[in-house]
Amino acid sequence: LGQFWQAATAQVVPNTPPALGAQFSTLYAKCQIEELMFKNELSDYTSWEEFTGHCCCSDRQNRFAFGADFETGVTELWTCDNGFSKERTRKGFTYIRDFCSPVFNAGYSLPEYDEDTFQLAVKGPNATHPFGW
């Protein structure tokens, strides 16, 4: 019951829009954007390891979908010790990291800040991935 109450009343940070960092760049000094992006992406934690050490993941199922539209494994919901919850859209991106796994697949980096795009991204064998990780 306690976990249900925490999940039901938590502040849910939705999946990060791709242009959020660029929007921040019009509002904040360049030196502040990296910290803001980490806080947004990692629910106020400062690294992926800290985030996954204080948050647990569950499948955020679409409660309005029925029948053929009901699908699992699309959105992760990371519920954290600090009262925040973070949604991460994962459909089509499990080659980077398995659904709800804290471990990135071989060849993929931990999230890093890219100051040219103002985004956190995961570097992989053939590309940089600013979302879906």
8 A C-beta contact, residue 114 and residue 130: yes
The string of pLDDT tens digits covering residues 44-65 is 998 999 999 999 999 987 655 5
The string of pLDDT tens digits covering residues 68-96 is 556 788 899 999 999 999 999 888 899 99
Confidence at residue 9, expressed as pLDDT on a 0 to 100 scale: 55
Compute the average pLDDT of residues 114-132: 88
Please tell me whether the overall predicted TM-score, pTM, comes out greater than 0.85 for this model.
no
